[in-house]
Structure 1
């Protein structure tokens, strides 16, 4: 196994001072199945935390209560953790205490899955007490020991099993899968931040559909995204759709490029359809206003999952605008679209709209429409014409000074009015012209 020099330094320092030490976990797993070189190398040792600290010039006691010390080598941090066994788990999240032990096997026995319970150093080679190598060969996710116990210790492991399954294209072993179904309600004890992190990793995997289907089949979806659970099996009763809402959403997410906010927008773009469902006199289903209602519902979900404010803003814009495919794009209408969405987000919108079309029936004409709007957008952005208030030849200070006004909402309204004019006719974007327009409209 390739070992970076800094990691070798840590292993050799521990060895030369009489301690055992091994690389452990995900870096070995990824190396064994031929993924790109690992970025993170975790180390386990029989040295106690204070002994680790004494051996290295720079350390950070990042998790010293649980035996973890971060060793800093050449500016990079490496987690070094003392062999341990976990005490009782009372909250399905973390042990009440840990006990340091001298046995590598005892330490590996507490880990989640066999493929993560591998250890390696250059003297002993690969250490595999629980059949992790065989499970890697057979593409199996299997809990170490008794799966019910593993999931009761830390309920997040259920999501991790599904995430690894999607990322590696592995199957979850039958007994492990049954234990996830039996313990699904325990996910309610896990923090929303930890759930968000696992969900996000699933969404940017190469097998997102499998992950979301597993969340549904194990009933974890009911607890982490109940709003999406409602879409399962929901017949759209519309000739433009050949899938129920949930399967349509899965298809859209899969067709989106694997960029996180874009895939989250794909996940949420039709989240309000069940709430907006109506049937007309012909028996055809409609979802009027589901884009606007979806913005409200999306914000509720994203805030519950503790997404950052910028991501929430961007995802809401994509959800709100996903239906706005311009059938007859004029320069002015495309400029207004760019202004509403933002030049930094507009091409993500087109990607979402294409994915939405590909996940529906009769998509060829819709994709052609999106292509036309995108082509015109590229031309408009390249021409550097004004697209937002900040591109105007006047600003709020100019209006205040010219017309002896006070700062307030009226200034903003004036600038928005000017932008509408300039979007229609960019030649008006001259300071004197704009001031004259304001004089005629508001002052005279």
Structure 2
């Protein structure tokens, strides 16, 4: 079968004719070909395989491309990278690979195209299209990758146990592709992942997190976490999440399974936002429930302060996975810490002061917090669901009203420390902090409006109480 339409871009003709001049066989392989057959928008990083030196081919091609782009050579890997017209072309010589038990870095030898296709992770990523003039657009599919694409199956070209043991990152990639494409991992392959799960420990945290991000950013992330749970990879990657699974019963009282609830929340939030860190917050919003779970004879199951405990756990989890310990981590912590606040508001009569405090504490992230809390509604009771959603609408409306009137978001005190010092002729002292805090509390409680004149008068009264003279 010929698929010239997949390789219409002029760069493929240039690569093919250059390979002919060098008497090299040459193919485009991997994600670009897979996505063409799936009808997805094709990836911009394109893998080119030469039967011979990929580096030599890259150098010769670069000379013919407009602007004569730089060739980046990675000698250790036998690869070369050329960037041209928004495409990243990676050239490599076809190779055979063998592995040592303690490393995912292979021992590499020159090989045939079939050797190169065998070393690929999945049959759907082993599809190759010829770029040589005589065979331009011919498909080489020795492992029935097209059939697997049509059936929606993730399968390895070789024995899955060998494929996953050699490079355990492929276990995460299998789950990620199954999630992104909504494919099924072949049963033999799924079993091999379970059998090799402990091998994931030789993979760097950065590589694992890269796959986790892609799973979280897919349309239905729960599929990936469900597969990690099923194969028990979760125990090595996110034990905090695994700990939420299960329902305990004491004296006929049960609590809900917080693991499956969490996956529902993540899917809910995935339908409303592409903010990766807000999706992380949804994934971790209940992790504090496992360590805080208690049974009380009078009130049943409790999870006291699980939001506070969970927010502390976020730091440890990010640190362990070598994720950024910056504003992104602080944002996730804040969302976890505050995840129950709007829920409590929506259940009670919503007072202005409670809304002001919510907006003050959440600051610029109040919208994100509301999105998280709405995603947290997983009740199957339609009446309850309607009630919660309506209550959240009221809270959102109240936030808009209070915000328009009182401007609490990113609150700046209307009276500064300098003004207090000047008014009462003070040097830096605890009295200044006491007055500033009293003004803030008075505004949040609605005692005074958030404006300078009222705050100034309140400052004078407070100063009098503290025995300060103007």
TM range (shorter): 0.7 to 0.9
* 8 A Cα contact 2:178 2:224, kept in partner: yes
Deviation string 1:193-242 (CA, Å, 9 cap, x unpaired) is 11112112212223322222211111101111112222221337799987
Match of residue 151, structure 2, among 134, 138, 148: 138
* 8 A Cα contact 2:78 2:93, kept in partner: yes
1:301 aligns with 317
1:111 aligns with 120
User: Could you tell me how far apart the structure 1 residues matched to 2:204 and 2:11 are?
Assistant: 32
* 8 A Cα contact 1:49 1:68, kept in partner: yes
Match of residue 317, structure 1, among 310, 322, 334: 334
Does residue 48 of structure 2 align to residue 48 of structure 1?
A: no
User: Could you tell me how far apart the structure 1 residues matched to 2:434 and 2:56 are?
Assistant: 64
1:212 aligns with 225
* 8 A Cα contact 1:248 1:359, kept in partner: no
* 8 A Cα contact 1:89 1:152, kept in partner: no
Residue 394 of structure 1: how far off its partner (Å): 4.3
Please tell me the root mean square deviation across aligned C-alpha atoms, in Å.
Answer: 3.0
User: Could you tell me how far apart the structure 2 residues matched to 1:397 and 1:75 are?
Assistant: 54
* 8 A Cα contact 2:175 2:228, kept in partner: yes
Match of residue 264, structure 2, among 217, 236, 251: 251
Does residue 248 of structure 2 align to residue 235 of structure 1?
A: yes
* 8 A Cα contact 2:58 2:80, kept in partner: yes
2:371 aligns with 351
Aligned residues: 440
User: Could you tell me how far apart the structure 2 residues matched to 1:114 and 1:44 are?
Assistant: 16
1:151 aligns with 164
Residue 11 of structure 1: how far off its partner (Å): 2.3
Match of residue 58, structure 1, among 45, 53, 69: 69
Structure showing greater radius of gyration is 2
Match of residue 5, structure 1, among 5, 9, 12: 9
TM-score of the two chains, using structure 2 as the length reference: 0.83
Gaps of at least 5 residues in structure 1 are none
2:65 aligns with none
User: Could you tell me how far apart the structure 1 residues matched to 2:172 and 2:204 are?
Assistant: 12
Does residue 113 of structure 2 align to residue 100 of structure 1?
A: no
Residue 414 of structure 1: how far off its partner (Å): 5.1
User: Could you tell me how far apart the structure 1 residues matched to 2:21 and 2:250 are?
Assistant: 71
Query: Which stretch of the first structure deviates more once superposed, 406-415 or 161-170?
Result: 406-415
TM-score of the two chains, using structure 1 as the length reference: 0.88
* 8 A Cα contact 1:234 1:246, kept in partner: no
